[in-house]
C-alpha cells in the first residue's frame, strides 16, 4: 500500500461516532438527576411533619387544625414557649431525661467498649461462643423478661428511682457488637508494639484503642442517647413519682390534662425533639463515618 492509499488520520468522524459518547454520558447524568429528585421528595416527606409541628407551636389553638393548612401563623404566638414552662413541670422532666440519657450513654460506651476490647483482642477458651450467645440476646424482646426484671429491682428497693433505669440500660449487646467490629479494623500490630513497650491491657484500651475509635464511639453515643431520650415504656414501669418523670411521661400527662391546648402540646413536642436534633446535627459526620467503617478489616 502506498502513501496515497493510506486513509487520512484527521478524517471527520461520522454522526454515529459523534453522538455515541454523548449518549453514554447522558445515561449516568439522568440517573443521578432522578436519584436526587427521589431523595429530595423523600426528605421533604420526612421533614414536613416536623415543620408542621414547629409552625403549629407558634399558632393559637383554633389555628392548628385548620383546613387547608395555614403554613404561616398569623399572628406568631411566641407566648406559647413561655406558657409551657409555667403550666407544666418541663424543667424537671427535661432535667430527669437529660440525667438518664447522659448516664446511660456513658455507661454503655464504657462497658461496651471495654467488653468489645476483650472479645476483639483477648484470647480465651469459649470466646466466640460467649460472644454469639451475648449478641443473641439482641433478638430477645424486652417484653419477655421485663416482669422478672421489675420484680428483681423491686426486691432490691430500686423501683421508683432513677437508679433502676441506669442499671437496666448500663449494658448493651449492640454496643459491644459495634465496638468489636470497629476494634477489629485497627491493626493488631499496634497492640503488640504497646505490649512490648510495657503497656497493660487497660492502658492499651485507654491510650490506643479509644482514641482510634472516635467515629464508632460517636455512633454508639448518638444511638444510645437518642434511644434513652425517647424511651417511654421503661420510665412508665419504674418511675411512678411525678418528680421522677421524664419528658415523655410528662408530655403524656400534659396532653391528658390540656387535651384542647393543641398549640402548647406542639410546643412541648418541639422542646422534646430539639435536643436530639441539635446533637444529631453536631455529630452526624462522626456518626456516618463510624457506621461506614464498622466491620472493615484492617
68: preceding bond cis by omega (within 30 degrees)? yes
pLDDT tens digits along 179-228:
998 998 888 888 889 888 888 888 999 999 999 988 889 889 989 999 99
What cell was used for 94?
427535661
The pLDDT of 10-31, averaged and rounded, is: 59
Whole-number pLDDT of residue 199: 87
Dihedral sign computed on CA atoms, order 163, 167, 168, 169? positive
Long-range interactions of 238-244: CB distance < 8 A, separation 24+: 238/150, 238/153, 238/159, 238/160, 238/161, 238/164, 238/165, 238/168, 239/96, 239/160, 239/162, 239/164, 239/165, 240/160, 241/160, 242/89, 243/92, 244/96, 244/160, 244/161, 244/162
75: preceding bond cis by omega (within 30 degrees)? yes
Whole-number pLDDT of residue 32: 84
What cell was used for 127?
470466646
280 near 226, Cβ under 8 Å? yes
Whole-number pLDDT of residue 35: 87
Considering the chain, what percentage of its residues have pLDDT values greater than 90?
35
Dihedral sign computed on CA atoms, order 263, 268, 274, 276? negative
Confidence of residue 287 (pLDDT cuts 50, 70, 90): low
| 94: pLDDT strictly greater than 90 | yes
H/E stretch holding 128: helix 127-136
Query: From its phi and psi, is residue 231 left (phi > 0), alpha (psi between -120 and 50) or beta?
Result: beta
The pLDDT of 266-287, averaged and rounded, is: 83
For helices 15-56 and 262-293, the axis angle rounded to 10 degrees is: 140
Whole-number pLDDT of residue 119: 92
What cell was used for 81?
414557649
- What is the spatial distance between Cα 91 and Cα 84, in angstroms, rounded to a whole number? 10
Confidence of residue 25 (pLDDT cuts 50, 70, 90): low
Q: Can you spell out the DSSP letters for 189-223?
A: HHHHHHHHTT--HHHHIIIIIHHHTHHHHHHHHHH
- What is the spatial distance between Cα 251 and Cα 232, in angstroms, rounded to a whole number? 11
Confidence of residue 283 (pLDDT cuts 50, 70, 90): confident
Amino acid at each position: 500500500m502506498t502513501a496515497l492509499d493510506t486513509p487520512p488520520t484527521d478524517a471527520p468522524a461520522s454522526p454515529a461516532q459523534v453522538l455515541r459518547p454523548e449518549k453514554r454520558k447522558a445515561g449516568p447524568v439522568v440517573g443521578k438527576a432522578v436519584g436526587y429528585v427521589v431523595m429530595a421528595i423523600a426528605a421533604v416527606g420526612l421533614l414536613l411533619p416536623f415543620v408542621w409541628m414547629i409552625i403549629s407551636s407558634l399558632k393559637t389553638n383554633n389555628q392548628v387544625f385548620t383546613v387547608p393548612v395555614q403554613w404561616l401563623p398569623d399572628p406568631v404566638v411566641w407566648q406559647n414557649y413561655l406558657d409551657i414552662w409555667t403550666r407544666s413541670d418541663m424543667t424537671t422532666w427535661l432535667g430527669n431525661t437529660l440525667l438518664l440519657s447522659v448516664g446511660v450513654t456513658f455507661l454503655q460506651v464504657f462497658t461496651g467498649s471495654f467488653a468489645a476490647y476483650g472479645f476483639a483482642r483477648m484470647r480465651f477458651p469459649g470466646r466466640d461462643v460467649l460472644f454469639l450467645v451475648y449478641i443473641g440476646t439482641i433478638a430477645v424482646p424486652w417484653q419477655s423478661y421485663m416482669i422478672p426484671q421489675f420484680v428483681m429491682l423491686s426486691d432490691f428497693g430500686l423501683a421508683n428511682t432513677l437508679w433502676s433505669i441506669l442499671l437496666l440500660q448500663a449494658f448493651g449487646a449492640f454496643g459491644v457488637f459495634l465496638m468489636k467490629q470497629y476494634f477489629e479494623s485497627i491493626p493488631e500490630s499496634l497492640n503488640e508494639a504497646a505490649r512490648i513497650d510495657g503497656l497493660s491491657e487497660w492502658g492499651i484500651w485507654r491510650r490506643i484503642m479509644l482514641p482510634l475509635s472516635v467515629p464508632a464511639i460517636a455512633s454508639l453515643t448518638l444511638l444510645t442517647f437518642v434511644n434513652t431520650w425517647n424511651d417511654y415504656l421503661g420510665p412508665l414501669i419504674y418511675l411512678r413519682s411525678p418528680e421522677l418523670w421524664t419528658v415523655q411521661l410528662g408530655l403524656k400527662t400534659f396532653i391528658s390534662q390540656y387535651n384542647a391546648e393543641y398549640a402548647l402540646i406542639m410546643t412541648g413536642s418541639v422542646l422534646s425533639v430539639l435536643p436530639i436534633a441539635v446533637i444529631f446535627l453536631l455529630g452526624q459526620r462522626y456518626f456516618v463515618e463510624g457506621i461506614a467503617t464498622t466491620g472493615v478489616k484492617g
